[in-house]
Structure 1
Amino acid sequence: MTIRDFRVALVTSADMPDLWDDDHPLRDALRERGVAVDAVRWDDPVADWAAYDMVVLRSPWDYTARHDEFVDWAGSVPRLANPADIVAWNTDKRYLSELEAAGIPIIPTTFVGPGDAWTPPAEGQWVVKPAVSAGSRDTARYTLPGQADLATAHVERLTTAGRTAMIQPYLSAVDTAGETAVLCTPDGTGELTFSHGIRKGPMLTGPAGEPVDPYFEEISPRQPSPAEREVAERALAVIPGGTKRLLYARVDLIPGPDGAPMLIELELTEPSLFLLTAPGSAERLADAIIARL
């Protein structure tokens, strides 16, 4: 086969039929290299996934309300990137407990499942969100003790709906230093390696309980520090099955109370890769896809 024989599906959702804007550079870079590229909804009932040489998850962000269906779908798709077992593991943020057990510094997290009791902390600022979520949906910040009733009601809404809630302290560094995202793609040997970094500003800036715009993020380039790179590498080393089969990874970090980086999330399923922010990153990812093809 030649490059012009290859077909790639970039997986999206019904509300983004032409992909999220940040994925257009990848689409264009693949097409410039002669690869046929289609944007396809993950739940398209007539999609012929077997007809594609690679199916790349990009913006299927409506899956959170149909998580089990999405995981089942991923298991049915041949040549999916990232692989279906990673999708199942990474779309439920209870994986953070595994990272913590492996010695990765994570933001302290309490998980509350259906039927579990939860007592709000006595004071401080806290974030409540579902363990299955994307784009800060159903996420809010509360100041305790004054907003304890609101925080409790949020947890109860989630658990009553059969979802698992997670509660984390709100770190003040979000408002000053911001988050650092470490983006990785395969190098010429197929090993996952650092591609670029970005800074994300705060999203939970409104009153408690106010909906967050999942499509707005304050993004700018950032070079991760050696300490951030080291934590990212340690987190990637814990991924089930190893990193060589991954097409991309994003590690989100924030300075903890002592200034040392702590992991917020390990994004392996459908993260924004901030290709518009990092010149050359889309081309590197397109070359990695072609190398695998």
Structure 2
Amino acid sequence: MKYCAFLSMDNLDDFEVYDHLLFKPLKELGWQAEEVSWRNENIDWDSYDAVIIRSPWDYQDDPQTFLKVLEEIEQSEAVLENSLEIVKWNIDKTYLRDLESRGLEIVPSLWYQKFNSDLFPSIFTDLKSAEIVIKPTISAGADNTFRIHKSNYGIFVNDLKSVFKNRPFLVQPFMDNITAEGEFSVFFFGDIYSHTILKTPKTNDFRVQEEHGGRLTLVEPEEDLLKTARAMRDLIDPEPLYTRADYVRTAENTFALMELELIEPSLYFNMDPESPKRFAKVFDEWMEKKLSIQD
């Protein structure tokens, strides 16, 4: 029997988690999996063959400590997936600038090191939008994310000064199709396409996460969406075990990348009954290659 840890957080009671759906298909392939908290300082990482980053959904509160834990895992006998190199690149949303420079379409973005009220109202002009979204460059789960209309930006200034006093952030136009249609998440395991879901926010909200009332639907991706997602995935180096890319349809009917999730994305195994088996098979083959290289 081989042993695998799912890197998690101390308490997931307030979250929707589906990684337990992997336990059975992994066991059928000879893997014993268990959840462990990334904050547990008593874990012997050498006792695992692999550690998969799954649901440490509080890492953004202390990213440096989180990275230190990942460094310890990477230096152990265990194989860390996705790799530390990928995490360091993906943990800050400035990776979007990197992808844009390589020809991929992203949601238009402006980047700032800290907030000051003089940024208004020119932001709306620069982004050619009457409504914007502001969020930290290191964040998760829509934490500290603000949706602001140019008619009432003044009421947000004090909160923005507090949150972004010494914290880098990005600003994007609010994409109307988030509420009109929804946000598409496309999943790959290794280089194998797995499934796509459409996430739509509840009425009078823009956040698509389940924890905020978002609704999920399994969909068949349009050819252009799948082509766009695969082209993006093929640019990632080193190759990730799992990839989730979130897209929104633009006014020009293209698909702009909102987020590339390579650290701890929900992979929504509940939405596609075959996806846990698909992941387990890819992971088992992936680890066979990794462990043979180590030997």
Relative to the length of structure 1, the TM-score reads 0.87
Who is 1:98 aligned against? 98
Who is 1:130 aligned against? 136
Establish whether residue 141 from structure 1 lines up as the match of residue 147 from structure 2. Answer: yes
Identity of aligned residues (%): 28
Who is 1:80 aligned against? 80
The 8 Å contact of residues 115 and 160 in structure 2, kept in 1 or not, is answered as no
Establish whether residue 113 from structure 1 lines up as the match of residue 113 from structure 2. Answer: yes
Q: CA deviation at 1:56?
A: 0.3
The 8 Å contact of residues 128 and 154 in structure 1, kept in 2 or not, is answered as no
Q: Give the count of matched residue pairs.
A: 276
Show CA shifts across 1:175-209 (max 9, x none): 122111110002xxxxx1211110011269349xx
CA distance in 1, matches of 2:140, 2:272: 22
- What is the one-letter code of the residue matched to 1:259? N
Q: CA deviation at 1:266?
A: 0.7
Who is 1:276 aligned against? 270
Who is 1:173 aligned against? 177
Q: CA deviation at 1:75?
A: 1.8
The 8 Å contact of residues 200 and 218 in structure 1, kept in 2 or not, is answered as yes
Establish whether residue 36 from structure 1 lines up as the match of residue 32 from structure 2. Answer: yes
Cα distance change of structure 1 residues 151 and 230 upon mapping to structure 2, 3 Å threshold = farther
CA distance in 1, matches of 2:14, 2:156: 37
Q: CA deviation at 1:226?
A: 1.1
Cα distance change of structure 1 residues 150 and 97 upon mapping to structure 2, 3 Å threshold = farther
Q: CA deviation at 1:217?
A: 2.9
Establish whether residue 157 from structure 1 lines up as the match of residue 154 from structure 2. Answer: no
Cα RMSD for the two superposed structures? 2.4
Who is 1:229 aligned against? 226
Who is 1:189 aligned against? none
The 8 Å contact of residues 127 and 169 in structure 1, kept in 2 or not, is answered as yes
Show CA shifts across 1:141-177 (max 9, x none): 1111x221234444322321x3211111111111122
Relative to the length of structure 2, the TM-score reads 0.86
The 8 Å contact of residues 20 and 59 in structure 1, kept in 2 or not, is answered as no
